[in-house]
Structure formats: structure tokens, C-alpha cells
Amino acid sequence: RTGIRRSNGQRLLREEAPLNTLMMIKLIATPSNALVDEPVSIRATGLPPSQIVTIKATVKDENDNVFQSQAFYKTNEAGEVDLEKTPALGGDYVGVHPMGLFFSLKPKKAFHRLMKKDVMNSPFCICLDLYDSVNWLETVRIPSKASQRVQRWFVGPGVKREQIQEGRVRGALFLPPGKGPFPGIIDLFGVIGGLVEFRASLLASHGFAVLALAYFAYKDLPEKLQEVDLEYFEEAANFLLSHPKIQQPGIGVISTSKGAEIGLAMACYLKQVIATVCINGATTTTAVPLRYQDLVVTPIQQALERMEVHVSGAVCFRHTTQYLQNKNILPVEKAQGKILFIVGENDELLDSKLHAQRAMDRLRRHGRSSGRMLAYPGAGHLIEPPYSPLCFASWQPVLGRPMCFGGDLMAHAAAQEHSWREIQKFFRKHLLQSGSKL
């Protein structure tokens, strides 16, 4: 009990409320509904001062595979934790990383990759849980003190998706809200095949018109990639430029892995392409032939005897193309537009920096200044939009075993955040007409 004295000297008595009723524990995430490349502010309040707490994040993909992360924090004198100021003391990372719980998400079952398939109808729903102790993921379940759900969307309000089946072209076109015309981009991924839409829809949410283009293992396209027919990609470029909402006179390409090798070939041979982003791709023709009109480029075969196996059991191909000579490089000097090479120096699938450096050297020998390289120490192969979890390795059905992509968690997260800004700046600079704004 505590006493309060009135001015007339009368003492009133009151019962002091228990501590846990005075302090309401809250976990606050702002915004709780946003695009995946938007940062989230996370705070915990109402806790005792100087207490160690655990914050966990859990999400399921569309196949119900579970991905989790956690970090331990110590509350301040006010009993609060603010991820923008409070350093993590342990868990999946240490230090001040406001989005650490998002980019450190990892699969409960090894070799799964967190990748959104249905971008239009549902977000990733990430559940944040607060525990008032150190709580390891594999321990006996205890109830959390507070929870918060965060919805992470790959498509913004007003973005429209058009299924594309035009001539041979197969894919999905994402258009921003408004009349346009918009700068057009073709989006290509690698040996995963099929139709991958999450990056195209996200770029469309930032004002670009993006065609997510499939080129094998989708609908009536070949099940396996037997050759790269550049006329197919030219048809896609012409389709995009013929669309009434696409800005003239040329388009951009954003491409990853095998897709980046194709994207670079498009830059070299197709006049429609005026700005190309190549993310961790070969600068030679590899594995399958490249065909364009009367041209046939024989592929360089990988030196599979140089393949290594990571301790996890995943296969590393990094050293299988290091023997390539300059004469095998695609004719980058023929490119009429600008090229941005984005490379992770810890890429275990390909020595992508070596490939990009050879292309840059060739450009210089021909007196061309159209290329630029952004090299990220510690980053792996799959450099994706900001706050995407690092995928160190994932199952590759063609191999029948997991493939290693590499990457250090913190360095990779930083590379994703920086490169995403640079990619958008690059396309705005080289695709927008004079006087246009985006």
C-alpha cells in the first residue's frame, strides 16, 4: 500500500497494482503491411529493464515450408527494445540490424529457397514473437509475451498483371498504375526455369513496366534448355516495344545467372536493348549453343572435374569456368546501350567477378565506356531485392542434389540493399526520355 496526503491532512490508502498489470508488454512493427523492399521498424515495450529477451520471426512459403530467424536483445532502462538502436547480442546475427529478422530467415528443412510464386493475391505473412528470456528455436514451446503479424507484398496498389501468350512469347507483363508510357524491362532468371515473377512485380510497383519472361519449362516452351534462341528474346523485346503503354525507343533487361548470360547476349546483338543489368552471370556462352539468325556460338563446357562439394553437401561450380580465355567472351563492344554488371565476390556457383572483369577489359580495349561493375565482397550468387533471406544453397532438380550459391549473411544483405537502389537509378537514367519523371 502507498499513502497519498490531501491538503487537509487526511491520508487515503490505495492498493498498489501488481507490476505486470501496470506494464503491458507490446511488440510493435511499423508498417505492418508494405512492399517487401520497405524497411520495418520493430519495437518491444513494457518489459522490465535490463532483461534479455528473444524476438523470433516465422514465415511459411506457399508449399508450407517453414522459415525462421531469431535474435536476443537486452532491454534498456525503460524496459524497451528498438531494433533500430538496440544491438542483437546473439542468435542469427549480432549488432544493430533493423531488418535482421527478415534477411536472416532460414529454412527448417535444408536447401529450401524462400521465393514468392503468387505475387498478386497474397503476401508473405511473417509472424513476430517476443519471449522474455533466451528461447532457442528447438526448445520446448513456451507462449510468447506478445506477437505481431507483418504482411510483405511483392506488388503495390494499382499494379496490373497481364498473362502473355503472344506468338512464341510466354510470360507475365506487370504495368504500373496510370496512363504511361512507362520504361519497359524484360526480367530473366536462370536454370530454375518456369516463370518467376516476384522481381518484375516489385519493379512495376516502382514505376517500370516489366515483362517476366519464361524461356523453358513453362507451358508449351521446351521442358529443358537445349539452346538459347536469341530470336525468341528479340520477339519478346519487339512485343514489349509494341505495347501502347511502353515508352520508346528501347527497353531494359534485368537478368540473373543463366538469364544474365542471355541478357548480355541480348545487349550485344539486339538493337532494341539499351540498358542491361547482369547479376552474377557468365560473359561467355556456356553449356548450350547460342543461336541468332545465321550465327551459332558453340558453348564452353564447364570443367566438371573442378567441381567442389561444400561441407553441407551442396555442389560448388565456382572454379569450373576459371580456365576460360578472353577469346570466348561475348562481343560486348557491339552493345549499343549501357551495361551494369552486379557481382558477388563470394559467389560459389560462378566466379562472376572474373567473368565481368573480362568483359570490362574487352570494352576498354575497344575504347568503349558503356560498362560498369559493382562488386560486393562477401555477397553470394542470388542477389535479390532488399531484405530477402540469403539462400546459401538450394535443391536443383536437374542435378538431383543441392547447388551452392554462397554468401556471407551480413555482406549479402548489404549488397542486396545497395544494388536494388543502383538498379533502379540505372534504369531511370538510361530508359527515361528527356524530361520524363519516375
Question: Is 257 tagged catalytic?
Answer: yes
pLDDT at 59: 98
Backbone angles phi, psi at 166, to 5 degrees: -125, 110
Half-sphere CA count of 164, side-chain side, radius 13 A: 27
* 273 touches 250 (CB < 8 A): yes
Q: Choose among 46, 139, 53, 49: nearest CA to 101.
A: 53
**Rounded Cα distance, 291 and 11, in Å:** 95
For the beta carbon of residue 399, count every other beta carbon within 10 angstroms: 12
pLDDT at 10: 47
Segment (H or E) for 427: helix 409-431
The CA–CA distances, whole Å, from 7 to 10, 11, 12, 13, 71 equal 7, 9, 11, 15, 51
Q: In what order do the strands lie in the sheet with 26-30?
A: 26-30, 41-45, 81-82
Mean per-residue pLDDT for 71-99?
Answer: 97
pLDDT at 327: 57
Q: What is the mean pLDDT of the chain?
A: 90
Ranges 4-13, 50-59, 369-378, 380-389: which has the least confidence = 4-13
Segment (H or E) for 414: helix 409-431
Question: Is 97 tagged catalytic?
Answer: no
- How confident is the model over 1-42, as pLDDT tens digits? 344 344 444 444 444 434 444 469 999 999 999 999 999 999
Q: Choose among 37, 38, 26: nearest CA to 144.
A: 26
- How confident is the model over 390-434, as pLDDT tens digits? 999 998 877 788 989 999 999 999 999 999 999 999 999 999 864
* 117 touches 106 (CB < 8 A): no
Residue 380 has pLDDT above 80, yes or no: yes
158, three cell numbers: 494499382
**350-375: b (≥16 Cβ within 10 Å) or e:** bbbbbbbbbbbebbeeeeeebbebbe
| pLDDT interval class at 325 (50, 70, 90) | low
pLDDT at 344: 98
Q: Which of 381, 394, 408, 419 is catalytic?
A: 381
pLDDT at 313: 80
pLDDT at 5: 41
Give me the count of residues in the chain: 438
**Rounded Cα distance, 115 and 111, in Å:** 12
- With a pLDDT cut of 70, the percent of the chain lying above it is 89
Q: Which of 187, 347, 351, 408 is catalytic?
A: 347
Q: Which of 205, 257, 394, 419 is catalytic?
A: 257
Q: Choose among 156, 67, 65: nearest CA to 104.
A: 67
* 348 touches 316 (CB < 8 A): yes
pLDDT at 19: 40
pLDDT at 321: 67
The CA–CA distances, whole Å, from 309 to 73, 258, 315, 353, 381 equal 36, 21, 5, 21, 16
* 57 touches 68 (CB < 8 A): yes
Residue bearing the bigger pLDDT, 195 or 191:
195
352, three cell numbers: 562472376
pLDDT at 311: 72
| pLDDT interval class at 435 (50, 70, 90) | very low
**Rounded Cα distance, 165 and 64, in Å:** 30
- How confident is the model over 289-323, as pLDDT tens digits? 999 999 999 888 766 667 788 878 888 878 776 65
Residue 134 has pLDDT above 90, yes or no: no
For the beta carbon of residue 396, count every other beta carbon within 10 angstroms: 17
DSSP 189-255: --TT-S---HHHHHHHTTT-EEEEE--SSSTTS-SS---EEHHHHHHHHHHHHHSTTBPSS-EEEEE
pLDDT at 7: 41
Question: Is 436 tagged catalytic?
Answer: no
pLDDT at 142: 83
* 416 touches 125 (CB < 8 A): no
